[in-house]
Structure 1
Amino acid sequence: MSDQNIINFKDKAGNSINWRNYIKIGILLLLLAIVLIFTFTNLFIVKEGEYKVIRQFGEVVRIEREPGLSYKIPFIQSVTSLPKYQMTYDVSEAEINTRDKKRMIIDNYAIWRIEDPKKMISNARTLINAESKMEEFIYSVVRGELGQLNYDEIINDEKSSRGSLNDRVTERVNELLATDGYGIVVTDVRIKRTDLPEENENSVFVRMISERESKAQEYLSMGDAEKNRITAETDREVKEILATASADAESIRAEGEGEAAKVYNLSFSKDPEFYTLFRTLNSYKQTINGETVIVLPSDSPYARMLMGYTE
């Protein structure tokens, strides 16, 4: 028997064992890959500013609120996202009637957020439905509040009785949403614009112009009255100042004259003859001028003094 016809059974057995090991390793790797795929596909990340809603057979079973890594059961559970941050909703324009039966068009906007995702999904199902319900409540409350005010009180800021209307509307809308369990909260409701139907605009503009002109005339009248008051007050103060100054001048003049008299008396009392001479000379100064004619006896002291006799 030749060597070519001899079969080495040991080598065949060894090769068979090696293939079997490779198959086992391949199966293990495949199972590991499947496990990893299932693991990673059923993990999810909860981001900042969002809720993760886990549903099982269409029902909400869990809400993930905190940021981080979470999981779901494969094939059975599904994950959807809802916003956690505040959102702005532009409410549709609507027409209302005021207390005095006039029409107005109002335009609002609302700041809102989801507070309880489970309630929101249970009662509103979607964000669109939640916004629609919120808009319905806002319109109802605003219509009721503005319906208690007259037309002029709404459009005229100086006579407006709206006060904290936005706060009252926000509070009332939240009460209605909480009563029906919609799981959303309105942070603020604002009336951003109030318009008039076209057929009313002209008459309102004319009335507003008339009111402004009346107010301007009132301010002018108040200004004239204030001007007259200030002028009269100033004139009175000037008269008082002048009177006080005149009285002070008279008092000072009288004091000066009295002081001069004292000085004269003191000086003249020291030499009576000189005082007599001084007074006589003053009388000459007062009585004699270029046209004066004096008839005196020749022996009178006055004549003798004029003629130069001293004895």
Structure 2
Amino acid sequence: MSNGNIVDMNEKKGRSMDWKKYTKGGFIIFLIIIVLGFLLSNVFIVKENEYKVIRQFGEVVRIDSKPGLSFKIPFIQSVTSLPKYQMIYDVQEAEINTKDKKRMLVDNYAVWKIENPKKLIATARSVVNAEAKMGEFVFSVVRSELGQLNYDEIINDEKAQRGSLNDRVTEQVNKLVEKGNYGIKVVDVRMKRTDLPPENEQSVYTRMISERETKAQEYLSMGDAQKNRIIAKTDKEVKEMLAKANADAEVIRGQGETEAGRIYNKSYSKDPKFYELYRTLNSYVKTIDDETVIVLPADSPYARTLMGYTN
């Protein structure tokens, strides 16, 4: 028998043992992966802005709100999330009647948050249901509050009470949700828009235009009255200033004439004959021109001067 037909049984046995060893190792790794995947599928992360609700057979067993890793029991427990941050709910537009029997459409929105997830789940079951219930409360309170105000007090900027109205609505809605144990808090309720039903728009616009025109005419009248008061006051002040100036001028003029007379008298008293000659010559200037004919006695001062007699 040749050596090529001889089979080494020890070598064959060693190869068989290596294959079994590799197969067993792969199976163990596979089991480890399955176990890790199973464990990781029951680990969840609690984020900072959410609540994690853990249910067991449909009942809430705990609520995790602290951020970090948490665990649930496999197959028995399930996890859902609820928001912890503030949310905005746009309340459905609705029609209300004012105190003076005017109809108007009101559009509000509410800012709210979940404070007790367990109460919310027990009463409203979900965020959608909680918002719907809150919307009903908002509409009920807004309708009651606006029903105590006239239409002009709501839409007129000068008479509007929206600031205090929003605060009152927020306070009353919070009382209703607390009474119902809904586990939520309404941070703020605001009136976003007020409109008129189409059939009422034109009549209200016409009245608003009339009110604005009346107000404009009132402002014009007030302006004219103020203008007239200013003109009258200015005229009075001008007359008083002119009267005082004229009086001062007369005093100054009188003082000047007195001083001039004193100076003239002082000057003329030094040479009375020269003064007499000076006055005579001035009278000639005033009384004689190219067409003047003068008939004078020979002994008159005029004649004597004209004739050259100065003595």
For the superposition of Structure 1 and Structure 2, which TM-score range results when normalised by the shorter chain? 0.7 to 0.9
CA contact (8 A) 2:46 2:64 kept: no
Equivalent position SS for 1:167: helix
Partner of 2:215: 215
Counterparts in 2 of 1:292 and 1:71: CA distance versus 1, 3 Å: farther
Partner of 2:193: 193
Gap runs ≥5 in structure 1:
none
**Cα distance, 1:223 vs structure 2:** 2.6
Partner of 1:62: 63
**Cα distance, 1:295 vs structure 2:** 5.1
Structure 1 distance, partners of 2:299, 2:100, is 116
- TM-score calculated relative to the size of structure 1: 0.81
Partner of 1:114: 114
| 1:165 aligns to 2:165 (yes or no) | yes
* Aligned length in residues: 309
- Please list, as runs of the form range in 1=range in 2, the aligned pairs for 1:207-246 lying within 5 A after superposition: 207-246=207-246
**Cα distance, 1:162 vs structure 2:** 4.1
CA shift digits 1:164-185 (9 cap, x unpaired): 2122212222232233332222
Q: Using the aligned pairs only, state the percent identity.
A: 66
- Please list, as runs of the form range in 1=range in 2, the aligned pairs for 1:10-29 lying within 5 A after superposition: 18=18, 21-22=21-22, 24-29=24-29
Equivalent position SS for 2:158: helix
Counterparts in 2 of 1:267 and 1:72: CA distance versus 1, 3 Å: farther
CA contact (8 A) 2:84 2:114 kept: yes
Partner of 1:82: 82
Counterparts in 2 of 1:102 and 1:292: CA distance versus 1, 3 Å: same
CA contact (8 A) 1:63 1:118 kept: no
2:188 aligned partner, one-letter code: D
Structure 1 distance, partners of 2:258, 2:69, is 110
Partner of 1:130: 130
Equivalent position SS for 2:128: helix
Partner of 2:96: 96
Equivalent position SS for 2:113: strand
Partner of 1:33: 33
Aligned-CA RMSD value:
3.5
CA contact (8 A) 1:60 1:118 kept: no
**Cα distance, 1:135 vs structure 2:** 0.5
Counterparts in 2 of 1:281 and 1:90: CA distance versus 1, 3 Å: same
CA contact (8 A) 1:106 1:194 kept: yes
**Cα distance, 1:137 vs structure 2:** 1.1
- TM-score calculated relative to the size of structure 2: 0.81
2:90 aligned partner, one-letter code: D
CA shift digits 1:60-119 (9 cap, x unpaired): 4022343x4433332232221222333222211222222233332212122222233233
Partner of 1:152: 152
Equivalent position SS for 1:99: coil
Partner of 1:204: 204
CA contact (8 A) 1:104 1:195 kept: yes
- Please list, as runs of the form range in 1=range in 2, the aligned pairs for 1:246-265 lying within 5 A after superposition: 246-265=246-265
Structure 1 distance, partners of 2:270, 2:117, is 120
1:83 aligned partner, one-letter code: P
